[in-house]
Structure 1
Amino acid sequence: MSGTPTTSLPRFVAQRALLAVPVLAVIAVLTFTLSRLAPGTPATLMLGEGASEEQVRHLTERWGLDEPIYIQFGLWLRNLLQGDLGESIRFGGPVLEMIGQHIGPTISIALLGLLIVIVIGIPFGLLAGHFRGTVLDRGLMGSTFVGMSVPEFWLAMLLVLGGGVHLGWFPVSGYTSPGESITGWLMAIILPAIALSIDQVALVARMVRDSVVTTSNEPWVTSLRARGLASSSVVGRHQLKSALVTAITVIGNAFGGFITAAVVVEIVFNISGFGWLTVEAALQRDYPLLLGVVLVAAFAYVLVNLVVDALYAVIDPRIRA
């Protein structure tokens, strides 16, 4: 009897990518509609109450804001498909250019934070699961409760005081691009990455630990031990693979969350990243820029979930069945 047929990896990924298209379409419609439901005319909101009638009229005609909302959406969608998200009212330049200028620091912090989550969270979970019920297990799990309870902004301020002010090891504010100095770049993003990732380290450690404990009594684990495999080998090679399916979900969502949650640490460390740009767009009522950053954040989430689905299929081919 033949097994259940499986889909090839490229086709599986293509199917998931097609499913992401309507998600992005719904996000685009909702975002555009909500931006037009704010009290007052869009031109007045973007320019402020002190704007002259001539300025309001010029902006209204330029962006077609006097047209029905469905025509406005059609014009915006046409420009979007052409790669044009409009011009920022606050910064006076193309939205994509503004996002490109400010997303680098956030991506750097998010990637380093992701590395911290993987390098620390997974080994902690494996150790706690392998030595479950011991002092080591209780200590590691106790530390995860603390990690999940500490607010990011509070931890960021502690890191500024400790690592920046008192010890003087790290800069307390600002960002250095890798093109200027690799060392300066690393020193500038270490503390923000730690502040951003500590709760996700704790969450991944708990998820991996729970997976190891759950699978410890499974027949296939018992069979591996009966063959004479060392307990550490069973945990580190075989149970880890099972735990990764759960951990990848948390890690993927963490990276997507880092892109938007970075605003907290960016404000503390005075870094003009993507989060800072989002806050500026909202405070200044810069709707073209706000629509752009929301769409980019949504695209990041969808892309991360697509990568997670692909990793699922690689780790466990049964998912493609």
Structure 2
Amino acid sequence: MLRYLGKRLLSAIPVLIVVGVVAFLLSHMSGGDPARVIAGNDATDAQVEAIRQQMGLNQSVPEQLWSWFMNLLHGDLGYSYVLGEGVTPTILSHVFPTLSVAVLGELISLIVAIPLGVLASDKHGRAADRAVLAFATLTTSLPSFLAGLLLMIVFVLNMKLLPASGFVYPSDDIGGYFSHLILPALSVATLQIAIIIRMTRSSMIDSLGSDYIRTAEAKGLTRARQLWVHAFKNSSISILTIVGQSFGELIAGAIVVETVFNVPGIGQLVSNSILRRDYQMVQGILIFVALVFIVVNLITDVLYAVIDPRIRERSF
């Protein structure tokens, strides 16, 4: 197991290098002078130049890139001269709201999509199957920010059941924490629901046509047992794959939805950092998001081996 995990972690190094180079170059190609932004319009050229030297902007781009990578190897994502604080603690202070929205959105997606996908596979070609596919098509065509606005109209303006925006930490008010999370989580869950429904339905249809299902039916097993114990277990690898791959998209959706619901997460941080031309913060956020993707994929690979012993034998 440890050997396998080590190989997976080593394979992530090239990904981080590529992401780091791309993030660095994109942030430096955005135009403008961050030193001038920090110093203000009334600053003299000498003051701006002093800030440029402090930030290392007087070096060539390759020299800046090398220095940034050397700091990254020591776990240092840099220092935000705009905010006057380290990049890492700033990102960590904004992570919890984003992960809260993404994780709750994932749970909602699984709770809604898996039963609907199993139902559609069991009623393949019938009215229930067509209704589920229509629902999946509707959620696919509904962007997360538009879903957020529609949910806000229904549950905030019309029904007045939930707060329109903001975020409350669970340590302050656990009830307020969940009430502020429901609408953003539902918004990011829309696309995920459609993806999981389609994958569950497709995988279950293949499983239900297998010989072991016909054998289970001949033995007199109930339909529920055929579906959930036998067919779903063999379809879980495909479902887990799509859940792991699309979790990054769900985080991206959470970042967009944060703007709609005024959630103080990574989305607001990266948006403000781009406007302030805070290169160090933008680079750090991109590296952090890449690390999240890598960790999610690693967890998914390990779960493969837990679910299917054949994968464990080949991998370990």
Question: Could you tell me the TM-score, scaled by structure 2's length?
Answer: 0.92
Query: In the alignment, does 2:229 pair up with 1:237?
Result: yes
Q: Per-residue deviation at 1:50?
A: 6.1
Partner deviation per Cα, 1:5-31 (whole Å, 9 max, x = no partner): xxxx44323322221122112211222
Q: Per-residue deviation at 1:183?
A: 0.5
Query: In the alignment, does 2:78 pair up with 1:86?
Result: yes
Q: Per-residue deviation at 1:39?
A: 4.2
Query: In the alignment, does 2:20 pair up with 1:25?
Result: no
Query: In the alignment, does 2:298 pair up with 1:294?
Result: no
1:1-321 superposed matches below 5 A: 9-39=1-31, 43-44=35-36, 51-320=43-312, 321=314
Q: Per-residue deviation at 1:194?
A: 0.2
Task: State the distance in 2 between where 1:245 and 1:145 align.
Answer: 23
Question: Could you tell me the TM-score, scaled by structure 1's length?
Answer: 0.91
Distance 1:130 1:10, change over 3 A: farther
Verify the 8 A CA contact 1:224 1:234 in the aligned structure 2: yes
Identity across aligned pairs (percent)?
A: 36
Verify the 8 A CA contact 1:114 1:254 in the aligned structure 2: no
Task: State the distance in 1 between where 2:43 and 2:129 align.
Answer: 63
Verify the 8 A CA contact 1:156 1:192 in the aligned structure 2: yes
Verify the 8 A CA contact 2:120 2:132 in the aligned structure 1: yes
Task: State the distance in 1 between where 2:26 and 2:198 align.
Answer: 38
Distance 1:48 1:240, change over 3 A: farther
Verify the 8 A CA contact 1:124 1:140 in the aligned structure 2: yes
Partner deviation per Cα, 1:112-138 (whole Å, 9 max, x = no partner): 001111111111111111122222222
Task: State the distance in 2 between where 1:176 and 1:254 align.
Answer: 27
Distance 1:49 1:108, change over 3 A: same
Task: State the distance in 1 between where 2:138 and 2:39 align.
Answer: 45
Partner deviation per Cα, 1:12-61 (whole Å, 9 max, x = no partner): 23322221122112211222233334446564476676653133212221
Verify the 8 A CA contact 1:36 1:42 in the aligned structure 2: no
Verify the 8 A CA contact 1:46 1:287 in the aligned structure 2: no
Report which stretch shifted further, 165-174 or 11-20: 11-20
Which letter maps to 1:194? L
Verify the 8 A CA contact 2:273 2:281 in the aligned structure 1: yes
Q: Which runs of 5+ in 2 are unaligned?
A: none
Which letter maps to 2:86? P
Task: State the distance in 2 between where 1:302 and 1:15 align.
Answer: 13
Which letter maps to 1:239? A
Q: Match for residue 6 of structure 1?
A: none
Report which stretch shifted further, 185-194 or 244-253: 244-253
Which letter maps to 2:62? Y
Verify the 8 A CA contact 2:142 2:191 in the aligned structure 1: yes
Task: Determine helix, strand or coil for the equivalent of 1:176.
Answer: coil
Cα RMSD, aligned residues only = 2.0
Partner deviation per Cα, 1:129-167 (whole Å, 9 max, x = no partner): 112222222211111111111121111111112111222
Q: Per-residue deviation at 1:305?
A: 0.9
Verify the 8 A CA contact 2:91 2:285 in the aligned structure 1: yes
Q: Which runs of 5+ in 1 are unaligned?
A: 1-8
Verify the 8 A CA contact 2:139 2:194 in the aligned structure 1: yes
